[in-house]
Amino acid sequence: MNNYHTSFIFEGGILVFLVHCGSTRVCALSKWITAETDLSFYGSDALISFNLQVIFVFVNRFQTYFKHVMLLLCLCFLTDSCLLAWAVSHFSKRKKTMADTVSDDQKFCLKEVLDAFRLCLSENREVYLQHYVAGWRGLIKFLNTLGSVFGFISKDAVTKIQILVHLLNGENGSQYVTIQSMVKYEQGNELVDLTKRGNNQESGCRTLLRLHRALRWLELFLDRLRTSSEDGKTSVMCADAYNESLAKYHPWVIRKAAGMAFCLLPGRQAFLEIMNVGSSEQVVAMLGEAIPLISEVYQITEVLYAQHNMLDLP
């Protein structure tokens, strides 16, 4: 039993006592009024006088029941309140536990993203798919901290990541170690729809291309964020980066929805705080490390896709 419950029992006791006293007084008053007074002094308003008389006579007549009904109502109210109090404390505790688990597990950390993109690059400039996916997973954690307005974006990114993870863990997983090996394998085995959507809508190449385009947005956005002044507007930076990159691949309705979501982005300071790095200067310094890595991964993929005529996969 915690303070919450103790206080409810105490307040409940007082309430029952007050209702008991109150109803006893009402009973006594109604007895006196019905016995001693003529309610016609309420003047010409016969309806009021009549109604009051009916009420007092009723209370007087059924005073024992009246007290019981009042106490019963009071007990119902108390039971409801206790249930509500229990539910609130129980679910808030559960919510807290879940939030804690989420925060341990799902807390965004820029360093994690930086490490993932660093690990992406092999010595001979190939891109490891496993770390590419890990980088995106980290970024989605950030998106998830921004609230449900960004849910449709996060959902699409998660779906794409799941497709890639499925391929990575599938029976041909060894063909998906790097983006280069994936392109070679899928093209060589006609697993990519090159001109129009067909049987391979969930090919690794097509799926990765969507994330690859988004990576360009990320690079542009982070660069704006890094170089902006303290009062820079994240919504404007995000929209400008989007219009310069991803927007041309999206239909009108997605562009509008994305534009509206951008307006709800937190301010620059709050944005930097979510990165869990430290002071603004430290975040800016880490962004300075992350952006060239992201840019390199982007450039390598861009060149590879261009060489295989895959920049416009349907």
Ligand X SMILES: CCCCCCCC/C=C\CCCCCCCC(=O)N[C@@H](COP(=O)(O)O)[C@H](O)/C=C/CCCCCCCCCCCCC
Segment 18 to 47, residues that bind ligand X, using CB under 6 A: none
Stretches 121-129, 148-156, 185-193, 303-311: which one binds ligand X (CB under 6 A)?
Answer: 148-156
Q: Which residues ranging from 257 to 296 are in contact with ligand X (CB under 6 A)? A: 258, 265
Candidates 30-38, 139-147, 175-183, 301-309; binding stretch for ligand X (CB under 6 A)? 139-147
Residue from 314, 225, 303, 309 nearest 270 by CA: 225
For residue 238, what are the contacts with CB-CB under 8 A and spacing of at least 6? Answer: 221, 262, 265
CA atoms within 13 A on the CB side of 59: 21
Q: Is 82 in the site for ligand X (CB under 6 A)?
A: no
Q: What phi and psi values does residue 300 have, to the nearest 5 degrees?
A: -60, -45
305 binds ligand X (CB under 6 A): no
Q: Judged by CB under 6 A, which of 56, 66, 117, 242 binds ligand X? A: 242
Instruction: Tell me whether residue 27 or residue 290 sits nearer to ligand X (CB atom).
Output: 290
208 near ligand X (CB under 6 A): no
Report in angstroms how near the CB of residue 142 gets to ligand X at its nearest: 4
H/E segment holding residue 301: helix 280-307
Residue span binding ligand X (CB under 6 A) among the ranges 1-9, 39-47, 250-258, 302-310: 250-258
Cβ contacts of 58 within 8 Å, gap of 6 or more: none
Of 113, 106, 163, 105, which Cα lies nearest the Cα of 134?
113
Q: Are 276 and 108 in contact (CB under 8 A)?
A: yes
**Total interface residues for ligand X by CB under 6 A:** 23
Q: What x/- string results for residues 168 through 207 when contact with ligand X is judged by CB under 6 A? A: ----------------------------------------
- Taking the complex as a whole, the smallest distance from the CB of residue 136 to ligand X amounts, in Å, to 7
Cβ at position 211, least distance to ligand X in Å: 6
Q: Examine residue 110 and tell whether it contacts ligand X (CB under 6 A).
A: yes
What is the rounded CA–CA span in Å between residue 163 and residue 144? Answer: 19
Q: Which of 8, 128, 217, 298 binds ligand X (CB under 6 A)?
A: 217
Rounded to whole angstroms, the Cα distance separating 284 from 266 reads 17
3-state SS, residue 11: helix
User: At its nearest, how many Å lie between ligand X and the CB of residue 255?
Assistant: 8
DSSP secondary structure string, 214-276? HHHHHHHHHHHHHHS-TT--HHHHHHHHHHHTGGGGS-HHHHHHHHHHHTTPPPHHHHHHHT-
Q: Residue 167 or residue 265: which is nearer to ligand X going by CB?
A: 265
Q: Between residues 261 and 304, which has the closer beta carbon with respect to ligand X?
A: 261
Interacting residue ranges for ligand X, rule: CB under 6 A: 110, 113, 139-140, 142-143, 152-153, 156-157, 210, 213-214, 217, 222, 238, 242, 246, 249-250, 254, 258, 265
